[in-house]
A and B are shown apart, each in its own frame.
Chain A
Amino acid sequence: MEVRVQNVRKEFDRFPALHDVSLDIRSGELIALLGPSGSGKTTLLRLIAGLEMPTQGKIFFGDTDASEKSVQERNIGFVFQHYALFRHMTILENISFGLKVRPRSTRPPNSEIRRRAMELLDLVQLSGLEKRYPSQLSGGQRQRVALARALAIEPAVLLLDEPFGALDAQVRRELRKWLREIHDRTGHTTVFVTHDQEEALELSDRLCVMSQGRIEQVGTPDTVYDHPTSPFVFGFIGESSTLPVTVENGELWVGGRAIGLPAGDAGPGEARLFFRPHDVDLIEADASLAGVVSTARRVGGTRRVELEIGGAGHLVEVDLPFDHPAGEKTRLAFRPRRWKLFPAG
């Protein structure tokens, strides 16, 4: 089911949480809503679910306007950060709940409900635990039950609110891979909220980066990572270093010195240069960014150094091979391999 969010605005007590947000979610895709806390990502998800109603704007499921429909009528599957499993019901009862509360006319017979629930339990790899209670399960297992429960009603859209947020790093990585597999197998249109960029990049077909109640950029992980369209996205997704530069004569200048990067179509004046610390070449040339190492530390397989760039003494981070001999006070010169220029300010 494709979902279209059209010019949606949401206010809580006159405080706007979303400003005029539009988003097209394609049928069958796995899309991540990514942003820092307070960016409105969870609000957008809850609006799609019908757990909140928009102040303005519409939400379409396929061609039908879902904005006026209640959460029950929208037929969505919702997975909560803290699982929200019914603690007094067994795992099997939890998964069957959505089918059991249906009106008699659309409710499958009990044996069929049980069969479906057991099938789902198998899908989430928890066969044999149907008689347990939620409190007897680990966090990762509980979240899998929550997903099975949401899938049981054959939802038009699957919505997950920080599904792995309450789990430890190891379990989170496992579940991430597993969720991708489930998605590929069942093909549900899936929207999930996360503040973890690594999770969003690894898991999603497309991601929607949000900040302060607005959508900053929507695109595939590659597009968003390689071609961020705003300073916020550049800074939020992946590692980044930034430096104020001057554009003059079609070239970039720092501290009265050309650094050997063409300005492209940017007009003359002040601007901000963004690049990734790992995406640089060390060179021995005059036209380069040169600085003195102020700190160096080992990060995984690389050595990250903080350089004090000549002139105003701006600090940027650059990755070196871990066996590079650079220490404090070493002078280094480099040029970003890929970079992006944004207006100053």
Chain B
Amino acid sequence: MATKLRARRHRRVSPTSESRPVQWLLIGIALAFMAVILLLPLYAVFHEALIKGIGAFFAALGEKDAQAAIRLTLLVAAIAVPLNVVFGLAASWAIAKFEFKGKAFLITLIDLPFSVSPVISGLVYVLLFGAGSFLGPWLKSYGIEVLFALPGIVLATIFVTFPFVARELIPLMQDQGTGDEEAALSLGANGWQTFWRVTLPNIKWGLLYGVLLCNARAMGEFGAVAVVSGKIRGQTTTMPLQVEMLYNEYNAAAAFALASLLALLALVTLVLKTALEWRFGDEIAAAAKH
């Protein structure tokens, strides 16, 4: 009787499901792992930042060099992200809507920044624009500094964050096909109208999602920027670089104060990203494919 009942109860759970204890065990392991690897460090960041009180926290953020780092980070993101939106849109448009030779190669190329170490990406620009290169001195003769200045930092950031928008849009646009565009054209719309009125609205949430990830990475990028920036305090240090410098000077409170801003940015990105996935999951390629 008892076995019969149990058998009946067992039949109700789906065949791919596990028994209760196993479920709890698995969830428990996952949570414990997350607590140690993710939550604890996050807690540590905010704890360290506020260890000397809220006053010291704001004082650290209000410091001249910290302010300069924040401004530089915002400026770099403000230049790099829109440019990557344009590049990403153009690349994914070309890949998704046209047939041409070397398409597979282009897709691989777009992925390159993901597979190359950021430090290497930075070094590439040092080689390209450094004192020993051809381009560097030539540009310098026109008064344009690339390395150890804003242009270098922006270039390195663009390189590292290039795939985010394109990777997000390519599968989405491929999935949507060219039917809507053909319909718009057959109704008399020109290319520009078709793009603004049909293509862009179709991908807007996917695009926003890509921009969000791109921005988070642009603001948080360390490796590539560290190589090209030269770390001139108050001039070419972005927030992540400033955090490292403060930390190396045993100024933990100030370092963590600035770090907490970056952590906050990550949290906001996470919330927005989740909200987008929840609300517009079907219009975001990443959510459907991952």
What CA separation (Å) do A153 and B201 show in the bound complex? 23
Closest B residue to A152 by CB, please name it: B187
Residues of B within 8 A of A86 (CB): 180, 183-184, 197-198, 201-202
Could you tell me if A78 and B189 are in contact, using CB atoms closer than 8 angstroms? no
- In this assembly, does A183 line the interface, its C-beta being within 8 Å of a C-beta of chain B? no
Residue in B179, B189, B197 whose beta carbon sits within 8 Å of that of A72 in the complex: B189
Could you tell me if B179 and A153 are in contact, using CB atoms closer than 8 angstroms? no
- Residue count of chain A within 8 Å CB distance of chain B: 24
Q: Is the interface of B mostly helix, strand, loop or mixed?
A: helix
What CA separation (Å) do A71 and B179 show in the bound complex? 14
Could you tell me if A75 and B179 are in contact, using CB atoms closer than 8 angstroms? no
- In this assembly, does B133 line the interface, its C-beta being within 8 Å of a C-beta of chain A? no
How close is A180's CB to chain B, nearest CB, in angstroms? 23
Residues of A within 8 A of B186 (CB): 49, 51, 71-72, 76-78, 150
From A95-103, A230-238, A287-295, give the one contacting chain B.
Answer: A95-103
Residues of A within 8 A of B179 (CB): 80, 82, 84
Residues of A within 8 A of B189 (CB): 72, 97-98, 101
What CA separation (Å) do A49 and B187 show in the bound complex? 11
Closest A residue to B189 by CB, please name it: A101
Q: How large is the interface on B (under 10, 10 to 19, 20 to 34, 35 or more residues)?
A: 10 to 19
Known contacts A86-B198, A87-B202; A51 and B187 CB within 8 A of each other: no
Known contacts A87-B202, A88-B201, A101-B193; A72 and B188 CB within 8 A of each other: yes
Could you tell me if B201 and A97 are in contact, using CB atoms closer than 8 angstroms? no
Could you tell me if A80 and B182 are in contact, using CB atoms closer than 8 angstroms? yes
- In this assembly, does B3 line the interface, its C-beta being within 8 Å of a C-beta of chain A? no
How close is A192's CB to chain B, nearest CB, in angstroms? 15
Interface 1/0s, chain A 138-175, versus B by CB < 8 A? 00000000100110110000000000000000000000
- In this assembly, does B51 line the interface, its C-beta being within 8 Å of a C-beta of chain A? no
Could you tell me if B183 and A80 are in contact, using CB atoms closer than 8 angstroms? yes
- In this assembly, does B190 line the interface, its C-beta being within 8 Å of a C-beta of chain A? yes
Closest B residue to A135 by CB, please name it: B282
Residues of A within 8 A of B187 (CB): 97-98, 101, 149-150, 152-153
- In this assembly, does B185 line the interface, its C-beta being within 8 Å of a C-beta of chain A? yes
Interface 1/0s, chain B 167-195, versus A by CB < 8 A? 00000000000011011111111100100
What CA separation (Å) do A49 and B185 show in the bound complex? 10
What CA separation (Å) do A250 and B106 show in the bound complex? 69
What CA separation (Å) do A80 and B179 show in the bound complex? 8
What CA separation (Å) do A150 and B185 show in the bound complex? 11
How close is B45's CB to chain A, nearest CB, in angstroms? 40
What CA separation (Å) do A85 and B186 show in the bound complex? 12
What CA separation (Å) do A76 and B201 show in the bound complex? 24
Closest A residue to B192 by CB, please name it: A101
Interface residues of A in 37-63 (CB under 8 A from B): 49, 51
Residue in B182, B197, B198, B202 whose beta carbon sits within 8 Å of that of A51 in the complex: B182
Residues of B within 8 A of A152 (CB): 187
Interface residues of A in 64-94 (CB under 8 A from B): 71-72, 75-78, 80, 82, 84-88
How close is B176's CB to chain A, nearest CB, in angstroms? 9
Residues of A within 8 A of B188 (CB): 72, 75, 98, 101-102, 153
Among B179, B188, B190, B201, residue most surrounded by chain A Cβ atoms (within 10 Å): B188
What CA separation (Å) do A75 and B185 show in the bound complex? 10
What CA separation (Å) do A85 and B189 show in the bound complex? 14
Residues of A within 8 A of B184 (CB): 86, 97, 101
Known contacts A98-B188, A101-B193; A78 and B183 CB within 8 A of each other: yes
Closest A residue to B185 by CB, please name it: A71
Known contacts A87-B202, A88-B201, A88-B202; A72 and B190 CB within 8 A of each other: yes
How close is A151's CB to chain B, nearest CB, in angstroms? 11
How close is A91's CB to chain B, nearest CB, in angstroms? 14
What CA separation (Å) do A264 and B201 show in the bound complex? 66
Closest B residue to A49 by CB, please name it: B186
Residues of A within 8 A of B183 (CB): 78, 80, 84-86, 146, 149
What CA separation (Å) do A152 and B188 show in the bound complex? 11
How close is A270's CB to chain B, nearest CB, in angstroms? 47
What CA separation (Å) do A227 and B154 show in the bound complex? 74
How close is A73's CB to chain B, nearest CB, in angstroms? 9
Residue in B182, B190, B202 whose beta carbon sits within 8 Å of that of A78 in the complex: B182
Closest A residue to B193 by CB, please name it: A101
What CA separation (Å) do A153 and B189 show in the bound complex? 11
Q: A88-B201, A88-B202 are in contact. List 19 more A-B contacts (CB 8 A).
A: A51-B182, A71-B182, A71-B185, A71-B186, A72-B186, A76-B186, A77-B186, A78-B183, A80-B183, A82-B179, A86-B184, A86-B197, A86-B202, A97-B184, A98-B189, A101-B184, A149-B187, A150-B187, A152-B187
A-B CB contact pairs (8 Å), 19 listed: A49-B186, A51-B182, A51-B185, A71-B182, A71-B186, A75-B188, A80-B179, A80-B182, A84-B179, A84-B182, A86-B180, A87-B202, A97-B197, A98-B187, A98-B189, A101-B184, A101-B190, A152-B187, A153-B188
**Which residues of A are at the interface with B, using a C-beta cutoff of 8 A?**
49, 51, 71-72, 75-78, 80, 82, 84-88, 97-98, 101-102, 146, 149-150, 152-153
**Which residues of B are at the interface with A, using a C-beta cutoff of 8 A?**
179-180, 182-190, 193, 197-198, 201-202
